[in-house]
Structure 1
Amino acid sequence: MGHRVTSIHHFEDYKKAILEADCVMVGGGNTWHLTRLLHQHELIEPIRERVQNDGIPYIGWSAGSNVACPTLKTTNDMPIVDPLSFETLNLVPFQINAHYTELTLEGHGGETRQMRLGEFIIANPDTYVLGLPEGTMIRVEGDKYELLGIESPKCKLFKFGQEEQELTDLSGLTF
């Protein structure tokens, strides 16, 4: 495809790798563990500065999309480690709930994602959350947001004091 990707663990100096990168790509895994590693290696600020100040692309999926948010608070992952801080990259002014679904397993007595995100916005009333189903992504350029996906992309917007909204277009959103 004309691109060469080198995983950061191949570098001796992680910060230098970020400073010399043309793009930052962060994949999936456990968001708690990923956040801990970002803090341990002091990569939050270098990544944020390269993306926001130098304009290099950031591509994240699953846990990589979670850490693009202000915090890791809307991850679905089990807290397997102390993340050292809930702060993440803050590349977008909203929280993402990756792999969002409204499916409920028969016989499951626990909370749905919708219920959990409803609880989250009560505890965090100034925060917007976008529930992104599988196969859906957000392209961000400046303060413009575009919803893309494989089939009829849509997402769910959660905000305290507002009805949940199913969105197919993010072009009019301001945060």
Structure 2
Amino acid sequence: MSELLLLSNSTNHGAQPLDHAPLAEFYGGRTVLFVPYALADHAGYATRIGEAFARAGVALRSVHTETDPAAALAAAEAVWVGGGNTFRLLATLQRIDGLLAIGTAVAAGAHYGGASAGTNLACPTIRTTNDMPIVEPAGFAALGLVDFQVNAHYLDPLPGSTHMGETRAERIREFHEENETPVVGLREGGLLRVSGESVTLSGRARVFRRGTQPEEVGDGPLRPWGPPA
């Protein structure tokens, strides 16, 4: 049974990184293997995330220090995937066979957590990321640990704005012109706790399903998924 902790963002305004994440409760004494590949500075990123985990009393080491990153990921008892650029994250994991390795670990019972790009990675694909494609991955397929997409950092348009660019809602509507998969527009500070088939939201989100009007939801379960009857 998959155990996942998926955050919209790693840092809330005015707070320390990951202070809003229940890291100690979720990881329960496991040593966490950190995946820093969404940023260019792996060592610096690992230091910052290590400090956040240390505040929660959770042991963490970074996969970029491992001689065989794929083997280390496959054997991990817990994983945390940091935010940054989702395209860079996916492309790097593809090069080191990291997707298969993480999937193997989760299938064996490893707890998976992530924020922003790390949350995108848990979805069937990365097609609902907000990021610029600064690198070209070999396809958009991700881990598929959940059966829905997430749009992290979801924002409503500003009232009275004269900006004529696409809103998040318009981009998700375009996604549903080509895809059936539901999309959770996860607002800042929001997180999803997945345990097997159970998905529970803490915070707020806007849920988009093809062929229906978006639904604003708050704390509580997020089921059932799927297209409208």
The two structures have a TM-score, normalised by structure 2, of 0.71
Residue 121 of structure 1: aligned partner: 176
Which residue of 55, 64, 72 maps to 1:17? 72
CA RMSD of aligned residues (A): 1.4
Which residue of 109, 131, 137 maps to 1:77? 131
- The runs of at least 4 aligned residues of structure 1 exceeding 3 Å deviation read none
Deviation at 1:24, TM superposition (A): 0.7
Residue 167 of structure 1: aligned partner: 217
Report which structure shows greater RCO (CA 8 Å, sep ≥6): 2
Gaps of 5+ in 1: none
Residues 183 and 207 in structure 2, CA contact (< 8 A), matched pair in contact too: yes
Count of aligned pairs: 169
Give me the identity figure in percent: 41
Structure 1 window deviating more from structure 2 (99-108 vs 70-79): it is: 99-108
Once the two structures are superposed, residues 61-114 of structure 1 have per-residue CA deviations (whole angstroms, 9 ceiling, x without a partner) of 010001110001000000111011101111110000000000338331111001
Residue 119 of structure 2: aligned partner: 65
Q: Pairwise mapping of residues 3-152 of structure 1 onto structure 2 (< 5 A)?
A: 3-51=58-106, 53-104=107-158, 106-124=161-179, 126-148=180-202
Gaps of 5+ in 2: 1-55
Deviation at 1:169, TM superposition (A): 4.4
Residues 75 and 105 in structure 2, CA contact (< 8 A), matched pair in contact too: no
Aligned-partner Cα distance in 2 for 1:22–1:50: 7
Partner of 1:130: helix, strand, or coil? strand
Residues 77 and 109 in structure 2, CA contact (< 8 A), matched pair in contact too: no
Distance change in 2, residues 1:94/1:172 (3 Å): closer
